[in-house]
């Protein structure tokens, strides 16, 4: 190399060293819960789905107005009352570079709908979300047909809950491997899962772009996404105010003003679809008496908590349905009346009151303690016990297993705003979300009939009848449907919250 070449090379190196290197754009979400799993077919938690949905896409999705639009599918056609055809896009790649096919779509849906299809005899806990699906077929190489055993009017509304996996990948790693390894078609691919701490993803540059009805179409805006697990509300708020995270979910109402008034943060809200309630163990020796359950309902001043703790950001409910849900109607209210609550306890044989424990996840500890104080004043002396999500789900929602607790402060999401995916799982005998252990054969018949009724007016009337039954039986204390409140950094753009609680980060950008 000549002296001149050495000088030129040295100058080039020095120039490159002096030039600023583009910083990777990381977006961090302060999130209430870690994922239970990364297998799209092996969970039943909306928080888990929120994380998974940034790694996997579905046949269809929802736009900002909650309308169902094609995603992996190009189009959707109802061929008959029991047949739906989905034209699958060509050229979509999994994160490992292999091309997705209609066979992958069939395989993914079979894992959910077919008994034992998860392997080792395991059936997907999400099977109930697919209703009366009879079979899934590949018709002509790019068309997938879903055939139902009977008419089911809400199939399109339920499909956004399911994501597509790679058949070859699952056959290689198995269901156990899919719990921690990801090969999806979503806008981000998995880098690392530090359980209990963070899930780190990076942009998938070969992403096909997502739903054509939701602009912009193309790869994600940011280089990396980090879901940082921060269960405590105060810690999430502190992280946002310090600039350590860009989005936090479940912003406490009492922190709204603080976040709004800070120079670098703001608040975004959206009407929620999650009903909060208290399950009372009807299989135990306390809440098997309807008078005790009614006493609990009369002991809680719901409006006080909505006003003081939720800052008015919620709608009171007297049944499981959101006021915005299909079939919802006005119901008799259990007015706040602690004296009546005490009298009902005495009639049930508890003149000196009762001592109970109420389970709750850490994110809702403060609200549960406020509820517990009201119950205690009415003679239902309540201790709050904070538990992990997976532990409480196993304790309260294991099908066929007896309940072992007293009360459970919890919630159930209803992203479709249809009663089928909230009323049926929480109230039908032995269903997957029936935390109260409630069993009513008359109600079961109504819910089963409503699920297949194609006449909207007749179907709404059925749910009205069902709501009146459970309102009288009071297996739960029905509380409220809150707005979803998010704290965000002002460096964030392109992201808006969704009513189904998904934090879809495909379009999110940071400065």
Q: 446-458 as b/e, with b when 16 or more CB fall inside 10 Å?
A: bbeebbbbeeeee
- Nearest 5°: phi and psi at 358? -115, 120
- Nearest 5°: phi and psi at 44? -150, 40
- Residue 332 shares a structural domain with residue 227: no
Quote the CA–CA distance of 68 and 502 in Å, as a whole number. 14
- Residue 320 shares a structural domain with residue 413: yes
The CATH number of residue 135's host domain is: 3.40.190.10
**Tokens coding 214:** 């939701």
Closest CA to 436 of 399, 409, 475: 475
- Residue 209 shares a structural domain with residue 227: yes
- Residue 472 shares a structural domain with residue 490: no
Identify whether 493 is part of a domain.
yes
Quote the CA–CA distance of 162 and 175 in Å, as a whole number. 16
**Residue 205 to residues 24, 52, 55, 187: CA-CA distances in angstroms?**
14, 18, 13, 8
Quote the CA–CA distance of 213 and 176 in Å, as a whole number. 35
The predicted pLDDT at position 500 comes to 82
Quote the CA–CA distance of 352 and 127 in Å, as a whole number. 45
The predicted pLDDT at position 452 comes to 87
Identify whether 15 is part of a domain.
no
Can you count the helices (H) and strands (E) in the chain? Answer: 15, 21
- Residue 471 shares a structural domain with residue 494: no
Identify whether 96 is part of a domain.
yes
Identify whether 170 is part of a domain.
yes
- Residue 60 shares a structural domain with residue 130: yes
CB within 8 Å of 505: residues ≥ 6 apart: 27, 29, 54, 187, 188, 220, 222, 225, 495
The predicted pLDDT at position 254 comes to 87
Q: What is the pLDDT along the chain (511 residues), one digit of tens a residue?
A: 444 344 344 444 344 344 444 467 999 999 999 999 999 999 988 899 999 999 999 999 998 778 899 999 999 999 999 999 999 999 999 999 999 999 999 999 999 999 999 988 999 999 988 989 999 999 988 999 999 999 998 899 899 989 999 999 999 999 999 999 999 999 999 999 999 999 999 999 999 999 999 999 999 999 999 999 999 999 999 999 999 999 999 998 889 999 999 999 999 998 889 999 999 999 999 999 999 999 999 999 999 999 998 889 999 999 999 988 889 999 999 999 999 999 999 999 999 999 999 999 998 999 999 999 999 999 999 999 999 988 999 999 987 788 889 999 999 989 888 999 899 999 999 998 999 999 999 999 999 999 888 888 999 999 999 999 999 999 999 999 999 999 999 999 999 998 888 899 999 999 8
Please tell me the pTM assigned to this model.
0.74
- Residue 200 shares a structural domain with residue 124: yes
Quote the CA–CA distance of 16 and 8 in Å, as a whole number. 12
Quote the CA–CA distance of 271 and 262 in Å, as a whole number. 24
Q: Which domain holds residue 505?
A: 27-232+486-510
Strand partners for 27: 225
Identify whether 241 is part of a domain.
no
- Residue 494 shares a structural domain with residue 454: no
Say if strands 83-88 and 68-70 run parallel, antiparallel, or are unpaired.
unpaired
- Residue 324 shares a structural domain with residue 438: yes
Identify whether 453 is part of a domain.
yes
Please answer whether residues 163 and 52 qualify as being in contact, where contact means their C-beta atoms are separated by less than 8 angstroms.
yes
- Residue 218 shares a structural domain with residue 320: no
**Residue 26 to residues 29, 187, 473, 511: CA-CA distances in angstroms?**
10, 14, 50, 10
DSSP one-letter string for 448-461? HHHHH---HHHHHH
The CATH number of residue 451's host domain is: 3.10.105.10
**Residue 476 to residues 35, 317, 338, 493: CA-CA distances in angstroms?**
27, 11, 17, 40
The predicted pLDDT at position 498 comes to 87
Residue 274 CA, chain-centre distance (Å), reads 8
In the sheet where 380-387 sits, what is the strand order?
314-316, 476-482, 274-280, 407-413, 354-361, 380-387
Please answer whether residues 59 and 162 qualify as being in contact, where contact means their C-beta atoms are separated by less than 8 angstroms.
yes
Identify whether 264 is part of a domain.
no
Domain count, the chain: 2
CB within 8 Å of 272: residues ≥ 6 apart: 314, 322, 481, 482, 483, 484, 499, 501
Identify whether 22 is part of a domain.
no
Which of the 8 DSSP states describes residue 366? H
- Residue 72 shares a structural domain with residue 197: yes
**Tokens coding 377:** 């004043």
The predicted pLDDT at position 454 comes to 86
Residue 41 CA, chain-centre distance (Å), reads 14
- Residue 221 shares a structural domain with residue 350: no
């Amino acid at each position: 190399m000549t002296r001149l070449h050495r000088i030129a090379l040295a100058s080039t190196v020095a120039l490159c060293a002096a030039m600023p290197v583009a910083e990777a754009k990381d977006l961090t979400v302060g999130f209430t819960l870690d994922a239970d799993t990364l297998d799209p077919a092996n969970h039943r938690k909306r928080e888990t789905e929120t994380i998974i949905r940034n790694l996997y896409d579905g046949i269809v999705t929802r736009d900002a107005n909650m309308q169902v639009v094609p995603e992996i599918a190009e189009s959707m056609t109802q061929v008959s009352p029991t047949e739906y055809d989905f034209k699958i896009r060509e050229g979509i790649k999994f994160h490992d570079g292999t091309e997705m096919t209609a066979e992958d779509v069939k395989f993914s849906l079979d894992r959910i709908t077919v008994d034992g299809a998860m392997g080792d005899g395991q059936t997907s806990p999400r099977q109930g979300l697919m209703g009366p699906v009879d079979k899934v077929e590949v018709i002509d190489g790019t068309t997938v047909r879903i055939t139902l055993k009977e008419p089911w009017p809400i199939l399109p509304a339920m499909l956004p809950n399911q994501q597509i996996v790679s058949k070859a990948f699952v056959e290689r790693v198995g269901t156990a491997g899919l719990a921690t390894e990801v090969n999806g078609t979503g806008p981000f691919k998995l880098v690392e899962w530090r359980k209990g701490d963070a899930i780190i993803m990076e942009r998938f540059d070969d992403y096909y772009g997502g739903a054509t009805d939701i602009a912009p179409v193309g790869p994600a805006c940011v280089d990396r996404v980090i879901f940082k697990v921060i269960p405590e509300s105060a810690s999430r708020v502190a992280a946002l105010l310090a600039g350590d995270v860009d989005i936090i979910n479940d912003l406490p109402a009492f922190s709204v003003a603080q976040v709004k008034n800070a120079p670098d943060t703001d608040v975004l809200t959206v009407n929620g679809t999650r009903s909060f309630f208290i399950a009372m163990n009807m299989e135990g020796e306390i809440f098997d008496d309807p008078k005790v359950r009614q006493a609990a309902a009369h002991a809680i001043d719901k409006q006080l908590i909505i006003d003081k703790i939720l800052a008015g950001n919620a709608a009171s409910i007297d049944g499981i349905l959101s006021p915005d849900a299909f079939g919802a109607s006005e119901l008799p209210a259990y007015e706040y009346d602690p004296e009546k609550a005490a009298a009902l306890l005495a009639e049930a044989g508890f003149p000196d009151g009762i001592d109970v424990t109420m389970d709750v996840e850490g994110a809702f500890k403060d609200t549960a303690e406020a509820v517990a104080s009201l119950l205690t004043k009415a003679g239902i002396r309540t201790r709050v016990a904070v538990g992990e999500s997976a532990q409480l789900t196993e304790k309260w929602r294991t099908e066929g297993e007896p309940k072992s607790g007293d009360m459970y402060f919890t919630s159930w999401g209803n992203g479709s705003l249809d009663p089928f995916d909230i009323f049926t799982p929480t109230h039908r005998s032995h269903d997957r979300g029936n935390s109260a252990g409630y069993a009513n054969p008359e109600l079961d018949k109504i819910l089963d009939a409503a699920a297949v009724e194609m006449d909207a007016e007749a179907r709404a009337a059925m749910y009205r009848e069902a709501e009146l039954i459970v309102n009288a039986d009071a297996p739960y204390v029905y509380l409220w449907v809150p707005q979803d409140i998010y704290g965000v950094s002002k460096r964030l753009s392109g992201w808006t919250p969704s009513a189904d609680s998904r934090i879809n980060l495909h379009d999110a950008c940071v400065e």
